[in-house]
């Protein structure tokens, strides 16, 4: 749905199960979005797969399962940019995510960005040479250190900490600006601030508001990006057949696929297969 509405990037909230699988689920527990109870990190993939993750959204979704990251990636490949919101995981999570992305054919392919919170950057370092770690802005000095150490190419700026000066600090280091306007500023003011700051990505929960706004101003980007941030030819956005991950010898799991919007050039939306909070 998000792609049809104009999104060109989809966010996957990723956590790890007790037995090391990466799953797409927003919350730390399964309580809100399934018929079960418990912490994702304390449950096996088989236990999570046995849950009904669709009924809370409506009767037509009854029986939907929490997807693994591999399943979500296969479903979206070549159709949109992938934005992974890493919610937490074991010390080996960076290596696990690297292996999954490589094995699913994303290295050198469509752009993959990984939201790296400050306390997760070290854990996610194995991804840095090949995929786009996306830390949030903290200071000009930290931006410089991260750019020099990890070669980051993109940096996020939350609405609550947004200022033209901070945005300029990001772009002055040669980084792509990613703005998150979700919340009280998810409207014309947040959009205009992002555009004026030179944002290339805008994250929103309101595609139906953002897409027409950008389209009317000739700013809506319809292409997706390569790993090096160059443009790819626009594909046919035919929905591929959904592939289930039946081999449980792997290391990953998911449930909360959300779309968001990529900004003045692109739009990303939380990948709304199940939880589009």
Q: What is the pLDDT of residues 124-168, one digit of tens each?
A: 999 998 999 999 999 999 999 999 999 999 999 988 889 999 999
CA-CA distance, 83 to 174, in Å (whole number)?
Answer: 20
Residue position matching structure tokens 């990948």: 271
The pLDDT tens digits for 219-253 are: 988 888 998 898 876 554 434 443 444 333 222 22
The pLDDT tens digits for 206-223 are: 999 999 999 999 998 888
- What the block records as the tokens of 253 is 């799991």
The pLDDT tens digits for 21-32 are: 999 999 999 999
Q: What is the CATH number of domain 2-270?
A: 3.20.20.190
pTM of the model: 0.83
Whether residue 269 has pLDDT greater than 60: no
Whether residue 257 has pLDDT greater than 90: no
CA-CA distance, 152 to 148, in Å (whole number)?
Answer: 8
Domain segments of the chain: what residues? 2-270
For residues 143-179, one letter each, b for 16 or more C-beta atoms within 10 angstroms of the residue's C-beta and e for the rest, the string is beebbeebebbbbbbbbeebeeebbebbeebebbbbb
In degrees to the nearest 10, what's the CA dihedral of 162, 165, 170, 172?
Answer: 160
């Amino acid at each position: 749905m998000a792609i049809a509405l104009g999104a060109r990037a989809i966010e996957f909230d990723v956590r790890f199960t007790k037995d090391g699988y990466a799953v797409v689920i927003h919350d730390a527990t399964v309580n809100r979005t399934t018929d079960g109870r418990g912490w994702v990190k304390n449950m096996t993939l088989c236990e999570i797969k046995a849950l009904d993750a669709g009924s809370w959204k409506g009767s037509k979704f009854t029986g939907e399962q929490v997807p693994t990251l591999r399943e979500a990636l296969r479903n979206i490949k070549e159709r949109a940019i992938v934005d992974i919101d890493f919610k937490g995981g074991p010390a080996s999570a960076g290596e696990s995510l690297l292996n999954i992305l490589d094995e699913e054919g994303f290295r050198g392919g469509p752009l993959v960005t990984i939201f790296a919170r400050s306390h997760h950057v070290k854990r996610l370092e194995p991804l840095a040479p090949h995929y786009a770690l996306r830390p949030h802005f903290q200071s000009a000095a930290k931006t410089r250190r991260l750019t020099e150490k990890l070669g980051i190419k993109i940096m996020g700026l939350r609405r609550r900490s947004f200022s033209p000066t901070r945005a300029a600090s990001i772009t002055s280091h040669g980084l792509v600006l990613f703005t998150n306007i979700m919340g009280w500023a998810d409207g014309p003011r947040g959009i205009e601030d992002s555009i004026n700051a030179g944002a290339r990505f805008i994250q929103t929960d309101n595609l139906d508001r953002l897409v027409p706004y950008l389209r009317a101003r000739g700013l809506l980007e319809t292409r997706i990006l390569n790993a090096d941030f160059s443009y790819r030819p626009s594909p046919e956005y035919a929905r591929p057949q959904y592939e289930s991950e039946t081999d449980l010898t792997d290391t990953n799991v998911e449930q909360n696929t959300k779309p968001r919007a990529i900004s003045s050039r692109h739009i990303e939306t939380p990948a709304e297969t199940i939880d589009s909070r």
